[in-house]
Amino acid sequence: MAQKILIVEDEENIAQLLHLYLEKEGYETQMAPDGGKAVELFRSFDPDLVLLDIMLPVMDGWSVLKKIREESKTPVIMLTAKGETADRVTGLEQGADDYIVKPFETKEVLARIRAVLRRTLGESEGTGEKKLAFDKLTINLDAYELLVDGKRVDTPPKELELLYHLASSPNRVFTRNQLLDEVWGFDYFGDSRTVDVHIKRLREKLEGVSTAWSLKTVWGVGYKFEVGPA
């Protein structure tokens, strides 16, 4: 059965372009030209993923995202304007799964959609084992062990938890505040510098080990564990 994508975009050219391209790639799509229609279609069409523009008539993308998150974990990719770094941070913190900067190439949109769908599918099929393996890298959160190129590397618990958190959602960008909340917990009284310091120490341990993955800084937004195309 085809996976369903809801395209929320008021610019008709962009919506049509995405619609034609994604249908050609085998997805079933529906289009919503405003925020009200988006919420309506989200319920009736029951999509597997939502592409969500921010500036929309009736109800903006933020309000739509909020409504969606009140009732489901369906992946949402925000379509943000170029240079609006603040939008990306806000989007990720409000529960968006990824963002795409306009103007975009349809190929990039497809790659992001596939990555997000793969990730969310993987999460629901989880085995419960807290162990991740990549080329020359094993992160074992059950044993609190980091193996780099086959060798055990002593790593403080928070560093290991941070790496595990990033690597369990490859290519997903996390903001510093998200990482503080999700790794250190809401009651932690540190600031975002804490995250930077831990990333720096992890990089010292992981630098040059493999070209298949890397710990990337996304300027003005946060960090991600980047994994190349398989």
- For the sheet containing 4-8, what is the strand order? 28-32, 4-8, 49-53, 76-80, 98-101
**Separation CA 8–CA 30 (nearest Å):** 9
**Separation CA 108–CA 182 (nearest Å):** 28
Residue 50 near residue 5, CB atoms below 8 Å: yes
Select the residue whose beta carbon is closest to Ca ion and give its number.
55
**Separation CA 142–CA 131 (nearest Å):** 7
**Judged by CB, which is closer to Ca ion: 33, or 222?**
33
* Minimum CB distance to Ca ion, residue 90 (Å): 16
Sketch the per residue contact string, 40 through 69, with Ca ion: x for CB under 5 A, - otherwise: -------------x-x--------------
**Judged by CB, which is closer to Ca ion: 10, or 161?**
10
Binders of Ca ion among residues 161 to 190 (CB under 5 A) are none
Burial 169-199 (b: 16+ CB within 10 A, else e): bbbbbbbbebbbeebbeeeeeeeeebbeebb
**Judged by CB, which is closer to Ca ion: 79, or 206?**
79
* Minimum CB distance to Ca ion, residue 55 (Å): 4
Q: Which neighbouring-strand residues pair with 83?
A: none
* Minimum CB distance to Ca ion, residue 14 (Å): 8
* Minimum CB distance to Ca ion, residue 72 (Å): 23
Number of residues that bind Ca ion (CB under 5 A): 3
* Minimum CB distance to Ca ion, residue 60 (Å): 9
**Judged by CB, which is closer to Ca ion: 38, or 180?**
38
**Judged by CB, which is closer to Ca ion: 56, or 163?**
56
Q: Per rule CB under 5 A, is residue 212 in the interface with Ca ion?
A: no
Residue 163: phi and psi, rounded to 5, are: -65, -45
Q: Per rule CB under 5 A, is residue 209 in the interface with Ca ion?
A: no
Take residue 158 and report the two structure tokens written for it: 């928070």
**Separation CA 117–CA 3 (nearest Å):** 9
Q: Per rule CB under 5 A, is residue 10 in the interface with Ca ion?
A: yes
**Judged by CB, which is closer to Ca ion: 18, or 167?**
18
Binding site residues, Ca ion, CB under 5 A: 10, 53, 55
